[in-house]
Structure 1
Amino acid sequence: MVTSVFLYACESWTLTAELQRRVQALELRCYRKMLNISFKDHVTNNEVKTRVRRAIGPVEDLLSIVKRRKMTWYGHVTRSSRLAKTILQSTVPGGRRRGRQKKRWEDNINEWTGLSFANSQRASEGRSRWRRIVRRSSRVPQQPP
């Protein structure tokens, strides 16, 4: 139940480094709660993940689920011809503010696929090709022990 509540409307998030860190922290906090492991026990995150895998089998990371759902939604909207597509692909006239630019929703798609926004739009027109791209791009690289 926690997963479904957590993932509600995750397709609209812009995943910054801070938000990714917080998602991973929440996931490990939930695992520790389920396994009744206190922070005082000094059990590493990798050990917690190993215990979870032993207890319930392979589990997909929350971050991978969020990325996959966001990219799947992007492909769905890009193939449609509705208001959501117009909103997603339109631009606002004028410039952006000075300084470091905030990460945009589409920047996540470009970063994960390695394609420009125009190329990702063309790629998402073919459903089977887009599914392969989503499968490849939504994996979260494991941190070295």
Structure 2
Amino acid sequence: MAKIWKSSLSTRFKQRLFAATVESVLLYGCEAWAVTSKLAKELDGCYTRLWGAMRNVHWKQHMTNKELHGDLPKLSDKIRERRTRFAGHCYRSKTEPVSKLVHWIPKHGKRKQGRPALTYVDILRQDTGLESTDMVTAMQDRKIWRAITVQFTVRGQHSI
């Protein structure tokens, strides 16, 4: 891809190519990821480095993320938006077994000592700021869930 990034093609074309190739591979399956804050920071850094390479910006130029990305949201926000959108979609498809798994919380067994690993439901609660019962109610209404989903990335800005 280095030849393409360094070519004289228009920036708009390079951004669209970046979204179609690099970003789609980087975000493959992210709807099911339970992303920790450390992993989100690493993904955001990787995305910034790749975006800088596409824009032919060397790290020694000390460009801020705002200057580099413009109005594009962080990669972790894109992941959050995709995850919540997917969870709502899965919950509303009542004929599929996944609709019961989206908000499933085990009622038996014990977690190990120490800080428990985050589950998918825990991540959704963090993303939305809603408790389980409120989240289920919001997922049932597509308009409410869409409003919750798009708060992470403003429509029109995350699409290149």
TM-score, structure 2 as length reference: 0.73
Letter in 2 for 1:95: K
Instruction: Give me the CA root mean square deviation.
Output: 1.9
- Aligned with residue 68 of structure 2, among 26, 43, 48: 48
- Kept after mapping to 1: 8 A contact 2:84/2:127: no
Q: Which residue of 2 is the match for residue 143 of structure 1?
A: none
Q: Which residue of 2 is the match for residue 79 of structure 1?
A: 92
The sequence identity of aligned pairs, in percent, is: 29
Letter in 2 for 1:46: K
1:13-65, Cα deviation, whole Å (9 max, x unpaired): 0021011101110111012211222223333333323xxx3xxxx43432222
Change in 2 beyond 3 A, CA 1:28/1:72? same
Q: Distance in 1 between matches of 2:64 and 2:78?
A: 23
Q: Distance in 2 between matches of 1:16 and 1:9?
A: 16
For residue 139 of structure 1, report the CA deviation from its aligned partner. 4.1
- Aligned with residue 40 of structure 2, among 20, 30, 41: 20
- Bigger fraction of residues in helix: 1
What are the ranges of 5 or more consecutive residues in structure 2 without an aligned counterpart? Answer: 1-20, 155-160
Change in 2 beyond 3 A, CA 1:87/1:41? same
- Kept after mapping to 1: 8 A contact 2:103/2:136: no
Q: Which runs of 4+ in 1 moved over 6 A?
A: none
Residue-pair matches, total? 132
Q: Distance in 1 between matches of 2:91 and 2:38?
A: 28
Letter in 1 for 2:63: V
Correspondence 1:1-145 to 2 at 5 A? 1-49=21-69, 53=70, 58-81=71-94, 82-92=96-106, 93-136=108-151, 138-139=152-153
Change in 2 beyond 3 A, CA 1:119/1:32? same
1:93-138, Cα deviation, whole Å (9 max, x unpaired): 20111111112211221112111012101111011111111122x2
